A and B are shown apart, each in its own frame.
Chain A
Amino acid sequence: EIVLTQSPGTLSLSPGERATLSCRASQSVSSSYLAWYQQKPGQAPRLLIYGASSRATGIPDRFSGSGSGTDFTLTISRLEPEDFAVYYCHQYGSSPRTFGQGTKVEIK
């Protein structure tokens, strides 16, 4: 099983600032099958990034993903008020599919 470790656990930032979220895998993620989701309280997760760096339909270009192998990053270039949420990475390249434990981006 591929274990995904996200850091930091909580990121305290102000609107307009840049957010950098990390996801490290315990072994190489096959073909960069790594996705990022955003989840707000009381809502289902929303797909942001797939294939490590491709934005899902309708996702603003302030969200970007990068990385390969075991190290992946989600960057939010300038935080908007609606971006404060919990973010999860997810690998879907091998079974069992696994998620990171989440990074909470909160308003400073």
Chain B
Amino acid sequence: EVQLVESGGGLVQPGRSLRLSCAASGFTFDDYAMHWVRQAPGKGLEWVSGISWNSGSIDSADSVKGRFTISRDNAKNSLYLQMSSLRAEDTALYYCAKVAAAAGGPFDSWGQGTLVTVSS
């Protein structure tokens, strides 16, 4: 069974940094691209960033480009999101998501999310 467990969220002041982690199990982690998707309280889903299986291809939403960095450690079956220069509008539940196929595709597995609150 695929399991994705996010951690690292919390309350942080504007302008500060935070690092999210996602521990993956139940599948061959280094076969799949991985993504972060966020959901502000009471709002819809927003794609944040994605990384290919070998970290050779990385993409991010314009809203976080230059501030957030996605990375992965295949030896540790882990995905990361380094967030800096945090803003109030980054407040959201951050989900780690796995794509359905090695070549990409929709998100077929999601974690339960980790909550990031940016506030002074």
Chain A residues closer than 8 Å to B62, beta-carbon distance: 96
Spot the interface stretch: B13-21, B24-32, B44-52, B76-84.
Answer: B44-52
Report the count of interface residues on A (CB-CB < 8 A): 22
Q: A44-B110, A44-B111, A44-B112 are in contact. Are A100 and B44 (CB under 8 A)?
A: yes
Q: How large is the interface on B (under 10, 10 to 19, 20 to 34, 35 or more residues)?
A: 20 to 34
The 5 closest A-B pairs by CB, nearest first: A35-B106, A44-B110, A97-B47, A99-B45, A50-B106
A-B contact pairs, 18 of them (CB 8 A): A35-B106, A37-B107, A39-B45, A44-B112, A45-B45, A46-B110, A47-B100, A50-B100, A50-B108, A88-B44, A90-B45, A92-B105, A96-B59, A96-B61, A96-B62, A97-B47, A99-B45, A102-B44
6 A-B pairs besides A35-B107, A50-B108, A96-B62 with CB distance below 8 A are A45-B95, A45-B110, A46-B110, A98-B47, A102-B44, A102-B45
